[in-house]
Homo-oligomer: A and B are copies of this chain.
């Protein structure tokens, strides 16, 4: 593992979030050199040269079923077949392809956007408002979310170890709440557990947390009152603490936070289900840091195709001995940090390997995204 000093060239993938899906699509298209009129990932496939070898690799055997070239009759047939024995395979293929073509599908808002603090007397002051919003999980699928600053996940708080922070929480929910700083070492009375370390923050009230940040790493914040429901409905976010001295971390060019959830809107990555999930975009040769966080009720073993992951931190603490893996099993409440060396160009599927969280007969859904490595 290489250890390096912070570099000016280090970019933060999370800043891409600010600009949303259009940016990602533009990024893909720029990579492809195809301009602005392409219907999604199908173009990526062509550009990656998949079309040609694939065509030559396939040989229809004499026993192949006759192909249905007329969509209309095909649809009719598949409907009638569906009523008896499930989907017709060509209809299934069409649905699978449609999902991939839509990726990354545009939805109304993105979560996990950087939250800029204001500075008051050297204190970084963040404001969070917990409220009720309609959240678009996949195109056209809106769910009632309980969200911080109208985002699911909530806005990303990012500070440096040693910072003094003040977080002002306004409760616009229909019930009481409180915020726990999951993984941070804070004074007990700032820990966010109603009736143990503070009174609940009642509807309409505002409550202020303040503490000095004492440990770096990938942490979280979330509701700690009626939490199965409140976190389940979206009251969660990343709280990332940069070390004062970056040389303890491995070298990386891109910093990507991936929050897993399995309640609001089903199986989601950063608040969205495939095909509305955000691809991770890197250039060939870059080093990608992924911060996995699980705010759900189930484990999610995240499998990245094609490229191994160097696991180097657990719950914000660097491991004494990083190790390699390709499937990172993230349990509820855990965080895992890894480095991916982007050595192979292409579009790499990236999904939970509990397959029922990622694919049905109707195609990929839920916890599926892609790592796109541009040449």
Contact = CB atoms under 8 A, between A and B. Distances in A.
Interface string A215-231: 10000000011111101
Interface stretch (A138-146, A240-248, A313-321): A313-321
Given A205-B58, A333-B353, A360-B228, A320 B317 contact: no
Contacts of A200: 93, 96
Contacts of A207: 57-59
A231 B354 CA distance: 11
A313 B241 CA distance: 28
A190 B61 CA distance: 21
Given A59-B206, A325-B317, A305 B54 contact: no
Interface string A330-362: 011110000000001111110001111011110
Given A58-B199, A327-B333, A344-B188, A204 B356 contact: no
A180 interface: yes
Given A54-B199, A189-B54, A299-B299, A96 B194 contact: yes
B193 A89 contact: no
A42 interface: yes
A297 B176 contact: no
Interface string A89-111: 10011001100110000000000
A355 B176 contact: no
Interface in A54-101: 54-55, 57-65, 67, 89, 92-93, 96-97, 100-101
Copies, count: 3
A327 B354 contact: no
Interface stretch (A7-15, A23-31, A43-51): A43-51
A61 to B, nearest CB: 5
A317 B327 contact: no
B100 A195 contact: yes
Contacts of A306: 185-186, 188, 191
A324 interface: yes
B325 A314 contact: yes
A5 interface: no
B370 A305 contact: no
A35 interface: no
Interface in A147-205: 170, 172, 174-176, 180, 182-183, 185-189, 191, 193-205
Given A64-B203, A215-B308, A355 B50 contact: no
14 contacts: A45-B196, A50-B197, A57-B209, A61-B204, A62-B204, A64-B203, A89-B175, A97-B195, A193-B305, A297-B355, A297-B356, A317-B325, A329-B331, A332-B354
